[in-house]
Amino acid sequence: MGELFKSAGYATAIFGKWHLGKDPQSLPTAHGFDEYYGIPPDMTWDSATYVEKIELTHSLPAPPNVLLARGPQIVEATAGGALRDVKPFTPEVRANIDNELVQKSIDFMRRQKAAGIPFFLYLPFSMGHIPNLPSSEFKGKSRIGNYGDKLMEGDHHVGQVLDALKELGVDDNTLLVFASDNGPSGEAFREYGNLGTPDMGSPGPFRGELGEVTEGSIRTFCFMRWPGTIKPDTTSYAIFSIMDFFPTFAGIIGAKLPSDRPIDGVDQIDVLRGQSETGKRESLLSFIGGDLVAARWKQWRVYFTDVHPTGIGPQRQPGPGSASAPLAGYPKIFNIEMDPHEDLNVFGLFPFASEPALKNVEEYLSSVKKYPNPPAPNVTQFQTTGR
C-alpha cells in the first residue's frame, strides 16, 4: 500500500503497529513509507508486558535496567534510514502510546498540507488489543474496566483526527477508513483485565475469536467517510475484504497494480458509490498459516476442517490453541443469515452451497502453481541433516 501511494506522488506515513519484521528489507520504510514511529515491528501490543513477566517468573537473571535495555523498544525510521530505538516499550508507555501516535499523525498531516502534498496515513491504533491500558484521562471512565476505558479513549482519538482534517480544510477531500482487523481476543487473554473485568470484546451474534476462521472471528465493522462520494448514514451488506482496499484505492488514485503476482482483492468502488448492493466479491477463502480451512460464499460458510459446534474457549484450527480435527471427506456448511452462531450444520439440506466454494478453491490451487506461496511460520517441525 505504501508503494502504491508513493508511486502516485503521495507522502506516506505509518504510526503504530507494523508487525511484519524488523530486518532492513522488512521495515515499512523499505516498502514505500516515508516515516515510521511505533512499537517493535516484529512484535505486537502486549510486548510492553514482556519485561515485567520475565521479572515475575525469574526467567532471565538480569537487573531490571538491563532487561529494559534489551527488551522491546519504541522505534522510528525514515525512508532510506536505519531503525532507531527511542525508548523502552513499558506498560506506562503502552498506556499513553495512542496519544503519541495521534499527535504524530496530526503533525504529519499539517506538514503535508503546508507543502501542498497529498498524503496517505496508516494509523494502526492500540485500542481494543490486549493489554488495554487506558491513559490517566480515561482510566475508570467506562464502568466496565480497562477494555471499555480504552475504547472510549479510542473514540476520542478518532475525533481528534477528524477535527484535524476539518481544521486543515481537507476533510471534504479525504477518504477515511476506520476498521478492525479481526474479532475479539479469546479466553486465553481475558486476565489482562483489572478487578475481575475481562480484557476482551464480543463477537455479538456470531461465533469466534481471534485466530479462528469462524464468522465472529473475521467479520468486523468498517466505517468509511468520503464526502461527495459515500452517501452519509448508509450501510452495506456486501462482502468486502480488507484485501479489497488495495485495488480499490489504486483505481481511485489512478495507480497501476503490480502485474508480477496475483492480486487477491477486487475493486469495490461501486459499493462505495452506492451503485452496487453486492459488489464484485461473492466469496472469500480463509487460511490459518498455510492451511486453507474454510470458505465463505454468499450467505454460506463452508468448513474443510472441523471446529467445535458451540461453546467458549479456543476453537482454532491448526495453530495456537488448536482444537480441530480433519473432516471425513465432506465439508460442514452453515447458513449464517438464518444461523449466525453457526450451530446447525446444513450440508445435508443445502449441499449445493459447497460447489461454488470448492470452485474458488480450485481457482486458488491453480494460481499457486504459477505463483507458489511462501512457507508459513513453523517452530514445531524440524529437519536434520547428516554430519
Angle of helix 146-168 relative to helix 91-115, nearest 10 degrees, comes to 10
- Could you tell me the pLDDT band of residue 232, with boundaries at 50, 70 and 90? very high
Exposed, middle or buried by CB within 10 Å (0-12, 13-18, 19+), for 291? middle
What's the pLDDT at 82? 92
Q: Which CATH class is domain 283-370?
A: alpha beta
Could you give the CA distance from residue 329 to residue 350 in angstroms, rounded to a whole number? 16
Cβ pair 206, 340 in contact under 8 A: yes
When mean pLDDT is compared across 136-140, 167-171, 244-248, 326-330, the lowest value belongs to 326-330
Whether 4 shows a pLDDT value over 90: the answer reads yes
**pLDDT, tens digit, 9 for 90 and up, residues 354-374:** 999 999 999 999 999 999 988
pLDDT at residue 325, as a whole number: 53
pLDDT at 79 (0 to 100): 96
pLDDT recorded at residue 326: 60
Average pLDDT across the chain, whole number: 90
Q: Is the pLDDT of residue 201 over 90?
A: no
Residue 88: predicted pLDDT: 95
pLDDT category at 387 given cuts 50, 70, 90 is low
Q: Hey, how many other C-beta atoms are within 10 angstroms of the C-beta on 276? A: 14
pLDDT above 90: residue 295: yes
8 Å CB contact between 48 and 72? yes
Please give the pLDDT value at position 202.
87
The answer to whether residue 216 scores a pLDDT higher than 50 is yes
- Mean pLDDT along residues 59-69: 86
% of the chain beyond a pLDDT of 90? 68
pLDDT in tens, 94-140: 999 999 999 999 999 999 999 999 999 999 999 999 999 999 999 99
pLDDT (0 to 100) of residue 7:
95
Report which of residues 316 and 271 the model is more confident about: 271
> Whole-angstrom distance between the N-terminal and C-terminal Cα of the chain?
45
pLDDT of residue 210: 83
* Domain chopping of the chain, boundaries: 2-272, 283-370
3-state class (DSSP) for residue 301: strand
Domain 2-272 and domain 283-370 have a common topology: no
Q: Please, is 36 exposed, middle or buried when counting C-beta atoms within 10 Å of its C-beta (0-12, 13-18, 19+)?
A: buried
List pLDDT tens digits, range 309-339. 444 555 454 544 444 456 667 888 999 999 9
The proportion of the chain whose per-residue pLDDT surpasses 70, expressed as a percent, equals 94
| 185 C-beta neighbours (distance < 10 Å), count | 22
Q: Looking at domain 2-272, which CATH architecture does it have? A: 3-Layer(aba) Sandwich (3.40)
Burial grade of 173 (CB within 10 A; 0-12, 13-18, 19 or more): exposed
Closest CA to 124 of 33, 208, 196, 215: 33
Q: Flag whether pLDDT at 247 surpasses 50.
A: yes
Write out pLDDT tens, residues 150-160: 999 999 999 99
Q: Which is higher by pLDDT, 319 or 236? A: 236
* Range with the poorest average pLDDT among 1-10, 187-196, 221-230: 187-196
Say what the pLDDT of residue 328 is. Answer: 66
Predicted model pTM: 0.91
- Find all residues with CB under 8 Å of 357, minimum gap 6, and list them: 283, 295, 296, 297, 300, 302, 331
Average pLDDT over residues 269-283: 95
- The arithmetic mean of pLDDT across residues 175-202, rounded, is 84
